[in-house]
Amino acid sequence: MKDKKEEKNRENESHQIKVERGTKGSAPKNVHEEKGEQDIKGANQNANSADNVTAEQLAQAIVESTEFKALREESENLTKEVAELKDKLLRRAAEFENYKRRTEQEQLNWLKYAAESFIVKILPVYDDLERSLAHAKDANNVDAIKEGLNMVLNKFSKVLEEQGVKKIDAKGKPFDFNFHEALLQQNVPGIAPHTVIEVVEPGYIYKDKVIRHAKVIVSDENSSAETK
């Protein structure tokens, strides 16, 4: 009995070892298993290839689609419009530069010859003055000389008025520092205080601007309009 029991134990141990070896190592594959795996790999490759073909066909379809062509045409038109606008902008910039240079030159010429029209108008006055002086050398009539000089003066005054130049009417007027420059104050009976009693040098207004104040003598604050 003991011998049979030991033999059975040895058989169990041997079977357990075989089971363990079978668990640790992999059993060799048969021909059918290998062929199945190859078929699976081939199917996967075919699927990937089909996916690639489908993507290429999709891209080609997008390119050839009507909407894509319309977008591409619109993009080309926009590119053309941008180029045209850029060309117009460059032309406008060049035209503005030419206009700017021309305007600057015109301004320089205007400043250079601004007094031309005025000079043309006073030349006759100068001519009359020369003629008056020439006649004065041989003339014995003082009144004739005065008359000639008055004519010249009146003509010159008219030219000044045409240019917007007016003489400041100062004598007998209340002193106004906007138009007058007081050189001296005097106590003058019968004259109100701060009144212009004499014009030493006349003043002038050009349009609405005082270009020279009238230099005057003014009655002082002790003057009185009442005569004693």
Residue 136: what pLDDT? Answer: 72
Task: Indicate whether 177 and 113 sit together in one domain.
Answer: no
In a domain, 176, yes or no: yes
Please indicate, yes or no, if residue 149 is contained in any of the structural domains: yes
Instruction: Give domain status of residue 66, yes or no.
Output: no
The CATH number of residue 122's host domain is: 3.90.20.20
**Strand ranges across the sheet with 196-201:** 180-186, 214-219, 196-201
Q: What average pLDDT does range 133-141 have in this prediction?
A: 71
Structural domain tally of the chain?
Answer: 2
Q: What angle do CA 157, 169, 188 make, to 5 degrees?
A: 135
201: domain CATH number is: 2.30.22.10
Q: Are residues 201 and 148 in the same domain?
A: no
More confident residue, 143 or 227: 143
Residue 17 has pLDDT above 80, yes or no: no
Question: Do 158 and 206 belong together in one domain?
Answer: no
R_g of the chain computed on alpha carbons: 60
Check residue 173 and give its pLDDT. 96
Going by pLDDT thresholds of 50, 70 and 90, the confidence category of residue 3 is: low
In this prediction, residues 156-167 reach a mean pLDDT of 90
* Full-model pTM: 0.52
Does 8 fall in a domain?
no
Read off the pLDDT of residues 95-127 as tens digits, 9 standing for 90 and up: 999 999 999 998 888 888 888 888 888 888 888
Is residue 13 pLDDT above 70, yes or no? Answer: no
Q: Quick one: 100 and 140 in the same domain?
A: yes
What is the distance between the alpha carbons of residues 161 and 168, in angstroms, rounded to a whole number?
Answer: 12
Give yes or no: residues 135 and 169 share one domain: no
Percent with pLDDT over 90 in the chain: 35
Q: Residue 101 has what pLDDT?
A: 92
Q: Within this chain, do residues 149 and 216 fall inside the same structural domain, yes or no?
A: no
Q: Which conformational region is residue 172 in: left (phi greater than 0), alpha (psi within -120 to 50 degrees), or beta?
A: left
CA distance 117 to 24: 123
Q: Do 157 and 96 belong together in one domain?
A: yes
Domain boundary at 163, 191, 212, which? 163
Question: Residue range 140-146: average pLDDT?
Answer: 76
Residue range of the domain that includes 168 = 164-228
* Within-domain flag for 52: no
User: Does some domain include residue 110?
Assistant: yes
In a domain? residue 68:
no
- The reply to whether 91 and 159 lie within a common domain is yes
The number of beta carbons lying within 10 Å of the beta carbon of residue 188 is 19
Same domain for 156 and 111: yes
Q: Which pLDDT band holds residue 187 (cuts at 50, 70, 90)?
A: very high
Last residue in a domain, options 136, 163, 190: 163
Q: What mean pLDDT, rounded, does the chain reach? A: 79
pLDDT band at 19 (very low <50, low <70, confident <90, very high): very low
b vs e for 55-72, b when ≥16 Cβ sit within 10 Å of the residue's Cβ?
eeeeeeeeeeeeeeeeee
Residues 127 and 177 in one domain: no
Look at residue 67 and tell me if it is in a domain. no
What is the rounded CA–CA span in Å between residue 180 and residue 218?
Answer: 10
Whether residue 134 sits in one domain with residue 123:
yes
For 69-89, how does the pLDDT look when each residue is reduced to its tens digit (9 = 90+)?
Answer: 788 888 888 999 999 999 999
